[in-house]
Amino acid sequence: MRTETSPQLTSPATRVAYGADYEHVLTRQARRRRLDTAIEEMAAASEFTGRPPDVLSARGEHPDRFRVCSAKLSHTIAMRTSAG
């Protein structure tokens, strides 16, 4: 990208500013990737990962039951709004 844009930038000051901003963007992207990786690792090792199914199982309820109920409710609402 830098080599494609450089010929269009005629002023030395513009080229310097563009180069600095381009480096800043690359630095931010690298930081974002590092943070995303760290967040994923922390989430995978978290004591809270997978908690909702555990809570439902402890109460004797299966998580799929809630997905089916939610789908039925969504369908019922859609039918009522389209009929009215």
* Mean pLDDT in residue range 16-25: 92
Per-residue model confidence as pLDDT tens digits over 29-61: 999 999 999 988 888 887 776 655 555 555 555
- Cβ(62)–Cβ(56) under 8 Å? yes
Query: Is residue 14's pLDDT more than 60?
Result: yes
| Confidence band for 10, pLDDT divided at 50, 70 and 90 | confident
CA distance 30 to 26: 6
Q: Which of 10-14, 21-25, 35-39, 71-75 has the lowest mean pLDDT?
A: 71-75
Q: Exposed, middle or buried by CB within 10 Å (0-12, 13-18, 19+), for 82?
A: exposed
